[in-house]
A and B are shown apart, each in its own frame.
Chain A
Amino acid sequence: MGKYILKRLLWMIVIILGTSFIIFTILYFTPGDPARMIAGGNATAEEVENLRHIMGLDQSYFQQLKTYFSDTFLHFDLGTSWVYNKPVIDEMRTRLPRTVIIGLSAMALNLAIGLLMGIFASTHEGKWQDSLTMGIAMVFISCPDFWVALMLILLLSAKLGILPSYGIGGAEYYVMPIICSAIGGIAVNARQTRASMLGVFREDYITTARAKGQRERKVVFRHMLPNALMPIITSIGNGFARIVAGSAVIESVFSVPGIGLYLLTAINARDYPVVRSCVLFFAAFTSIAMLLVDLVYAFVDPRIKAQYSSARRGGAGK
Chain B
Amino acid sequence: MRKRQNDVYSRYRRAEKTSLFLETIQRLWENPGAKVGIVLFAVIVAACVFAPVVAPYDVNETDIKNLFAGPSAAHFCGTDAMGRDLFTRLLYGGRYSLALGLCAAVFGSALGIVIGSIAGYFGGKTETLIMRLMDIWSSLPSILLCILISAVLGPGFFNTVLALSVGNVPIGVRLIRGQILAERSKEYLEAAESIKCSRISIMFRHLLPNVISPVIVDATMGIGMTITMAAALSYIGLGVQPPTPEWGAMLADARSHILNYPYLIMFPGLIIALTVLAINLIGDGLRDALDPKLRK
Contact = CB atoms under 8 A, between A and B. Distances in A.
- Establish whether A and B are touching in the complex (CB under 8 Å): yes
Interface of A: 11, 14-16, 18-19, 22-23, 26-27, 29-31, 138-139, 141-147, 150-151, 153-154, 158, 241-242, 244-246, 248-249, 252, 263-264, 267-268, 275, 279, 282-283, 286-287
B273 A283 contact: no
B148 A267 contact: yes
B232 interface: yes
Contacts of B281: 138
B80 to A, nearest CB: 16
B136 interface: yes
Contact of B272 (A29, A144, A154, A275): A144
Contact of B140 (A27, A150, A158, A286): A286
B135 A279 contact: no
B233 to A, nearest CB: 9
Interface stretch (B2-10, B86-94, B257-265): B257-265
Contact of A246 (B132, B143, B272): B143
Given A31-B154, A144-B231, A151 B269 contact: yes
A280 B201 CA distance: 41
A143 B269 contact: yes
Contacts of A15: 135-136, 139
A313 B266 CA distance: 60
A153 B224 CA distance: 25
Interface residues of B, number: 40
Given A141-B280, A252-B236, A245 B143 contact: yes
Contacts of B228: 142, 144-145
Interface string B272-292: 111011001100100000000
B269 A147 contact: yes
A30 B251 CA distance: 27
Contacts of A18: 136, 139
B272 A147 contact: yes
A18 B137 CA distance: 9
B273 A11 contact: no
Contact of B232 (A14, A144, A241, A282): A144
B229 to A, nearest CB: 9
17 contacts: A26-B148, A138-B277, A138-B281, A139-B273, A142-B273, A143-B269, A146-B251, A150-B255, A154-B258, A154-B265, A249-B232, A249-B235, A264-B147, A275-B148, A279-B144, A282-B141, A283-B140
